[in-house]
Amino acid sequence: MAQDERDLLDLLTFELKFLEDGGYGRSPRTPWLRQRAFEDSITCPNLGDPSRPHPCSECLLMRFVPSELKDQDSPCRLIPLNDKGETIDYFYRYGTQLELEEALAGWLRRQIKRIEEQRKAAATDGAAGTDLDRIRRKQWLALAGNLYTLANRHRENHDYVVAHALYGRALAVAEKVTTLEDGGRALVARIKNDQEAVSEILHGGDRSLQQDHSEELELVGP
């Protein structure tokens, strides 16, 4: 299977897991705001940046957008999710959140199945791509950067366990492109440094708890 198909499979699999875990539920901080499918996911290169510095053409999801609609704002909203041609935008206007999530989950599962079947066929034929092109490198670096930013936010809020886990996921993504992209190597170095710092905090906390427990035992006595 071609490299872009492998990257797309990872992206779609992540999106399905994100959806199933309630990632598009309303935020406790802003319950009045509806979470936007794809656009409010960490797979979006423009997540959290209203200036949208990355063109949508860099997104792997663009292949699912009808050619005549690719120049529209937020083209990922216009991906047909079923045989009726209903899109994310359609459900925003006329459907419920539950209907949207059911349609989106069904579409994601079908695309994942299609790519997996293509992957098996390609493996049988011995056809597999090996090189990452410029757009795919940017896609994965953007994802790694979003995960890294999210980890830093949890670290700032002293949620070190979650921060450590997110650093690990960011590292796994960034390492996909380290051999071909200088920016990837620099990001990997930053992630490793910050993850080690958080790990020291976590381990230090464990030792502190053990020490406090030992002191309590000494006070109680035999």
pLDDT at 125: 58
Residue range 155-165: mean pLDDT, rounded: 90
Q: Which residue has the higher pLDDT, 160 or 129?
A: 160
Query: What is the CATH code of the structural domain delimited by 134-220?
Result: 1.20.58
> What does the angle CA 99 – CA 105 – CA 106 come to, to the nearest 5 degrees?
90
Which pair of structure tokens corresponds to residue 159? 């949620």
Please tell me the chain's helix, strand, coil percentages from 3-state DSSP, rounded to the nearest 5.
Answer: 65, 0, 35
pLDDT at position 205: 61
pLDDT of residue 217: 35
Would you say 39 and 124 are in contact if contact means Cβ atoms under 8 Å apart? no
Q: What is the pLDDT of residue 197?
A: 93
Please tell me which residue, 33 or 162, carries the higher pLDDT value: 162
**Whether pLDDT at 180 is above 90:** no
Please state the pTM of the whole predicted model. 0.55
Residue 136 tokens, joined = 């795919």
- pLDDT value, residue 21: 83
- Could you tell me the pLDDT band of residue 208, with boundaries at 50, 70 and 90? very low
The residue among 84 and 4 whose pLDDT is bigger is: 84
- Residue 2: which of 125, 176, 179 has the closest Cα? 125
Percent of the chain with pLDDT over 70: 75
Q: Which of 22-36, 62-76, 192-206 has the lowest mean pLDDT?
A: 22-36
Greater model confidence, 131 or 166: 166
33 vs 72, residue with greater confidence: 72
Alpha-carbon distance 78 to 85, whole Å? 9
Instruction: Give residue 30's pLDDT.
Output: 45
Q: What is the pLDDT of residues 52-77, one digit of tens each?
A: 888 988 889 999 999 999 999 889 99
State the chain's mean pLDDT as an integer.
79
- Give domain limits for the chain: 3-125, 134-220
The pLDDT tens digits of the residues spanning 76-87 come to 999 999 999 999
182 has a pLDDT exceeding 60: no
